[in-house]
Structure 1
């Protein structure tokens, strides 16, 4: 939640927008395959997706393929979290695919003249600040959109995943950034930040005068015909979004989380694969669908342009921009994940194609395997091998290793019970004061150091213990148990040492008294000397 734990990352995404298989410009691939007219290809695509679902233990998914400005293939696989068959009308949550939606909303306000991309955020949100006021004053809207604001990746764990649906939840989360120290100055480094997108959602609320979810319906979803899109708790309940699934020691288990209004701008937009396909169609046609425009062609191109170098490819205004591995085709894409859900949009603008895949399960340590479904289909459309990612042994070993560590610590805590055996009691009494102090000091120091390391490890990749519990429940619970037992061991050994030393002092005093008493007894028992007179 993991150096090992943090491979969990408690790589964070923190929290969402996760690493995908490396992309490279390998040169143009074979000629474009036409899904619309090739039934055999459609069957192979479906078979490939089924195989990926089996490999990751994902119960259900939905797939859509776009060619030439229209949907040419769309279908569901498996079951949702309530046992119903997944169809193109089954709702999912989209994770960080919400970020391009937020990017579109911000650009709408730019084109309306209400927002300047290069103006300080504080012009629109005077209360906005990080722990460093000077840095806060210099953060612009563009910095937030491109993840170059200086807000650390760890801030996503600090203010995200609150599942807060109270009025003003989004603004409350953004205000909590005031306690976060910046990792760098604005524009200096790239750091993926869901927290920055939370601020952008509040900015849209402020300049539009509308709650963010209501704004999205009015200005994005309704014009694009995204009839089942989710951006409010009411939408979530109306669409009856089924539970997603997490992995617990290799078993796929449902995770019925509530909605999170405080997380809509960066991760909690949702809807059916039909809804996300309509959003994608508008992106491919310069911000327009069925004669209705939500953004100018120029503004749409600006969101899809790679503005800065990121951890993977370049990053635009909500989108990642790179090339599709094995084909060299320009690719505009976004991965998004939540505990229990995974989403992918891959657009290939030069050939007017796109792949959309939604899944109702996710495992943070196996993110590449989940993303293989969409990337593989995109490569198959170009006639190249889809390729797959083998399971990282870490994903299997880490939860069990953490559970084993917790079990070992439990045995250490229980070990003093052995002192109740006569032999152990005698051995304990035989220890010198120096040995008691030395042994206890080393044990307590080791236990406290271990607890500190386990608590600190998630932060090295931008995560927290709380994120570990949410995203990797088996690993997170083992981590918490190990930390708790290490602390308990330190307390227990300190208390036992104090008791042993007190007993040792009492024993020493008793031994001295016994020796003195025995000496007095010997003196009293010694017969008095008498003088015997001999007769003359």
Structure 2
């Protein structure tokens, strides 16, 4: 398994990772691979950020309040957050706590782009992010359909804060992380600084590049929990142990079973209360799992609850265009744990083609922008002078319209995938830089061609007037 994981890290270009394996409800293997971005060897104690693996932890926190009788899964969210709003007040009032946990609230996946990756560490950061959902239009009635939503888990985090009367990170430390002995877990900016979490890596034209981002308190319920593989292993052991670890219980066995049960159909499997639920490929084993990613970090927890086994893999790099390749490192290890072939991971050619395609498009636009320098040549000036006004106008319309359409399409394209250009810049920087460069150059090209057309018309008008005057002077002769 170590050799397989190492081969996947080499194939993806990931600088460092940490692996843990659980069998029969106990840890049988933990080790680190490679280095962090500060040149230190990765060990089982090296801290990472866990991305959306934060969601099952938030789900557990909500279920604790449910079992304490302080929250009802089928009560409207406004029972606990009276100020919670979407752009449609009627839909907002119908969203229940259960809808948020199962991603069936009607909040669109794109809302995550509106409130995520803020890097806001103010005391009210989480509540402020949730308040900004008031401008988001729902895409469906509550309970009608599944749409993966980090924004919904932000609302759950604010709900926990409101009901418990504690900041979300403080609640996690007191009720989950402390009892489970997750001593180096990261859920606050102070934790992040104390543990000295090393920057992760994004990819620029296939090369891992350090990305030193600040902590984001506003994103803790859905993306910014972190810690070492030892910490995440203890959380996984509690999940496999029916909510109990080393005699400390954080949730009832029935409550844990409910979180790990598939409640709704999702895009690829079924979704529980924070966990994805399906069958491990190549086997008949029930799999409860969660992947998580941030710009620079990737995490996977794969549990096989019926046999008490699990694989946890943390990586200090991530490429959104190669997400499947990163996930397959853990899935393959889990298949090995189950005694079957780990399988192969096909490369995504788009990960190579798209950055270079955008760079090529920007280069072409730059050449087009520089082309008018040829007008300085005598032959070009004569040809331009000979064109009719009609031809100048038609050429200008074409040469201005095409780059404008291109700029609009490039700026709009990320929205078709639920994102924005800002998100592309954050998650896929080489593609994002290419998009921004191409949009700016296309707009400059449209301005330039408009100015050149106006200049040509002016020059032709001046030339035509001079010719007519000359003919009038010569007529008496």
Which residue of 1 is the match for residue 268 of structure 2? 312
Please state if 1:340 is matched with 2:316.
no
Deviations 1:23-77 (A, max 9, x none): xxxxxxxxxxxxxxxxxxxxxx110110000000001000000111210001101
Q: Is 1:416 equivalent to 2:372 in the alignment?
A: yes
1:461 aligns with 2:417: yes
Contact preservation (8 Å) 1:369, 1:388: no
In the alignment, which residue of structure 2 is the partner of 1:360?
316
- Measure, in 2, the Cα distance between the counterparts of 1:373 and 1:343: 10
Distance between the aligned counterparts of 1:204 and 1:339, measured in 2? Answer: 26
Give the 3-state SS of the residue equivalent to 1:104 in structure 2.
helix
**Contact in 2 for aligned 1:198/1:263 (Cα 8 Å):** yes
Deviations 1:403-449 (A, max 9, x none): 00011011111111111111111111111111111111112111111
Counterpart of 2:335? 379
Quick one: higher RCO (CA 8 Å, sep 6+), 1 or 2? 1
Q: Which residue matches 1:217? A: 173
SS at match of 1:151: coil
Is 1:351 matched up with 2:307?
A: yes
Alignment match of 1:136 (pick from 88, 92, 98):
92
Give, in angstroms, the shift of residue 180 of structure 1: 1.0
Q: How far, CA to CA, are the matches of 2:168 and 2:463 in structure 1? A: 73
The separation in 2 between residues aligned to 1:324 and 1:288, in whole angstroms, is 25
Alignment map for 1:113-512 (pairs within 5 Å): 113-512=69-468
Equivalents in 2 of 1:401, 1:292: separation in Å?
A: 54
Query: Does the CA-based 8 Å contact 1:131-1:181 persist in structure 2?
Result: yes
TM-fit CA distance, 1:198: 0.8
The number of aligned residues is 477
Deviation at 1:220, TM superposition (A): 0.6
Preserved CA contact (<8 Å) 1:245 1:362: yes
Alignment of 1:70-149 (within 5 A): 70-149=26-105
User: Shift in Å at residue 505 of structure 1?
Assistant: 1.5
Structure 1, gaps ≥5 residues long: 1-44, 523-536
Q: What CA distance in whole angstroms lies between the structure 2 residues aligned with 1:457 and 1:360?
A: 29
C-alpha distance in 1, partners of 2:106/2:266?
Answer: 14
Measure, in 1, the Cα distance between the counterparts of 2:85 and 2:110. 16
Runs of 4+, deviation exceeding 4 Å = none
CA separation in 2, counterparts of 1:225 and 1:346? 21
Distance between the aligned counterparts of 2:131 and 2:444, measured in 1?
36
Work out whether residues 233 and 261 of structure 1, in 8 Å CA contact, stay in contact via their aligned partners in 2: yes
Residue 113 of structure 1 and its aligned partner are, at CA, apart by 1.3
1:286 partner SS:
coil
Distance 2:460 2:81 in 1: 66
Task: Describe the superposition over 1:127-156 as per-residue Cα deviations: whole angstroms up to 9, x where unpaired.
Answer: 111111111111111111111111111111
Pairwise CA distance, 1:490: 1.1
- Deviation at residue 368 of structure 1 after TM alignment: 1.1
Segment of structure 1 superposing worse, 495-504 or 87-96: 495-504
Where 1:223 maps in the other structure, the secondary structure is: coil
Aligned equivalents of 1:105, 1:431: Cα separation in 2: 74
RMSD: 0.9
> Equivalent of 1:59, from 15, 24, 27?
15
Which ranges in structure 2 are unaligned for 5 or more consecutive residues? none
Q: What is the distance in 1 between the residues matched to 2:70 and 2:420? A: 37
Q: Over residues 101-139 of structure 1, what are the superposed CA-to-partner deviations in whole Å (9 max), with x where a residue is unaligned?
A: 000011111111111111111111111111111111111
Greater Rg by CA: 1
CA shift for structure 1 position 163: 1.0
Q: C-alpha offsets along residues 453-500 of structure 1, whole Å, 9 cap, x if unaligned?
A: 111111111111111100100011001111111111111111221222
TM-score by length of structure 1 reads: 0.88
Q: Deviations over 1:321-377 (max 9, x none)?
A: 000000110000000001110000000011110110000011111111111111111
C-alpha distance in 2 between matches for 1:114 and 1:506 = 83
List per-residue Cα deviations over 1:486-525 (Å, max 9, x = no partner): 11111111122122212222221121112112234x2xxx
TM-score, with structure 2 as normaliser: 0.99
